[in-house]
Structure 1
Amino acid sequence: MQDLPTRLSPEQAEALWARQAALQAEAAEVLAQLDLLACASRLGVPEQIGSAASGLMVWRDLDIGVRCRAPGAREVLTALLPVLAHPGVLEAHYREETGERSPTGRPQDERHYLVLRYRTPAGHAWKIDISVWRSDAPRPHLESARRLRELAPELRQAILWIKDVWSRRPEYPEQIGGVDIYAAVVEHGARTPADFCAHLEARSAASCA
Structure 2
Amino acid sequence: MPQADLPTRLSPEQADALWARQAALQAEAAEVLAQLDLLACASRLGVPEQIGSAASGLMVWRDLDLGVRCRAPGAREVFTALLPLLAHPGVLEVHYREETGERSPSGRPQDQRHYLVLRYRTPAGDVWKIDISVWQSDAPRAQLESTRRLRDLDPELRQAILWIKDVWSRRPEYPEPIGGVDIYAAVVEHGVRTPADFCAHLAARSSAEGA
Structure 2 partner of 1:56: 58
The amino acid across from 2:90 in the alignment is G
Deviation string 1:89-121 (CA, Å, 9 cap, x unpaired) is 000011110011101001100000000000000
Corresponding residue of 1:163 = 165
Amino acid at match of 1:158: A
User: Deviation at 1:40?
Assistant: 0.4
TM-score w.r.t. the length of structure 2 is 0.96
C-alpha distance in 1 between matches for 2:197 and 2:109: 37
Could you say which residue in structure 2 is the equivalent of 1:139? 141
CA deviations on 1:23-72 (whole Å, 9 max, x unpaired) are 01100100110111101000000000001111100000000000000000
Cα-to-partner distance string for 1:147-169 (whole Å, 9 max, x where unaligned): 11111110000000000000000
In the aligned structure 1, how far is the partner of 2:15 from the partner of 2:196?
Answer: 16
Would you identify which runs of 4 or more consecutive aligned residues in structure 1 move more than 3 Å?
none
Among all aligned residue pairs of Structure 1 and Structure 2, give the percentage whose two residues are the same amino acid. Answer: 90
- Letter matched to residue 85 of structure 2: V
Is residue 95 from structure 1 mapped to residue 115 from structure 2 by the alignment? Answer: no
User: What is the match of residue 125 of structure 2?
Assistant: 123
Q: Tell me the TM-score normalized by structure 1.
A: 0.97
Report what 1:35 is aligned to: 37
State how many pairs are aligned: 205
Deviation of 1:174 (Å): 1.3
Q: How does 1:4-15 map to 2 (within 5 A)?
A: 4-15=6-17
User: Matches of 1:95 and 1:180 in 2, distance apart?
Assistant: 24
d(CA) in 2 for partners of 1:82 and 1:114? Answer: 14
Task: Please provide the CA RMSD for this pair.
Answer: 0.8
SS at match of 2:128: strand
Question: What CA distance in whole angstroms lies between the structure 1 residues aligned with 2:89 and 2:150?
Answer: 35
Partner of 2:28: 26
Structure with the higher fraction of residues in helix conformation:
2
Aligned twin of 2:106:
104
Partner SS state of residue 47, structure 1:
strand
Deviation at 1:142, TM superposition (A): 1.2
Q: Please give the alpha-carbon distance, in whole angstroms, between the structure 2 residues aligned to 1:69 and 1:142.
A: 18
Question: What letter is aligned with 1:182?
Answer: Y
Gaps of 5+ in 2: none
Determine the C-alpha separation between the residues in 2 that align with 1:112 and 1:203: 32
Q: Unaligned stretches of 5+ in structure 1?
A: none
Q: Name the SS of the counterpart of 2:107 in structure 1.
A: coil
Aligned residue type for 1:160: L
The superposition leaves residues 136-188 of structure 1 with CA deviations (integer Å, 9 ceiling, x where unpaired) of 00001111011111111100000000000000001001100001000110111
Q: Distance in 2 between matches of 1:202 and 1:84?
A: 43
List per-residue Cα deviations over 1:66-97 (Å, max 9, x = no partner): 00000000000000000000000000011110
AA paired with 1:195? D
Pairing of 1:73-88 with structure 2 (within 5 A): 73-88=75-90
Q: Which residue of 2 aligns with 1:114?
A: 116
